[in-house]
Copies of this chain bind each other. A is one copy, B any other.
Amino acid sequence: MPQTGRSGCPINLTLEQLGDRWSLIVIRDVMFGNRRTYGDLLSRSEEGIASNILADRLKRLTASGLLSRRPDPNHQQKGIYSLTEASIQLVPLLAHMGAWGRRHTQPSEELSVRAELLEKGGPALWDAFMVELRHLHLDAPRPSRSVFRELQAAYEKAVARKARD
């Protein structure tokens, strides 16, 4: 993430922005978990991100245009983080990462459900999700279909199924 300027290869440049162990985790949580504040991202982090790392990533991601920050009208101190068009366009990338991880690592069942749905839905579902994210983060009109709710429902169902056993 430091501007190392190694080469002009687009894959390399993408890695220079996102090639670390936390940036995409933060974006994932904002995107799929709708965590919009520092405290929310910190306390509900599945992976237990450290507070200084989170602060640093929010700063960097905001500086590089992958997140935007506006003040919370109800709380002078809080900031509300939103995805930008650039980070919304990471949806296919994250979907592929989920699909690859599902196939080539040993993920837990509940946390795989979303990835599975995204994989099965393919580009059509990704597009629908991106339209919805533009509503949630960029003031675009609300679409009729809520992919977000579908993903969430599937996840919660999987959690309930697990708890039952």
Contacts and interface: CB of A to CB of B under 8 A. Distances in A.
Contacts of A89: 100, 103-104
A152 interface: no
Contact of A9 (B48, B65, B103, B107): B107
User: In terms of DSSP, what is the predominant structure of the interface of chain A?
Assistant: helix
Interface string A3-44: 010111111111111011100110010000000000000000
Instruction: Kindly state the interface size class of chain A when it binds its partner.
Output: 35 or more
A10 B92 contact: no
Interface of A: 4, 6-17, 19-21, 24-25, 28, 46-48, 65, 86, 89-90, 92-94, 96-108, 110-112, 115
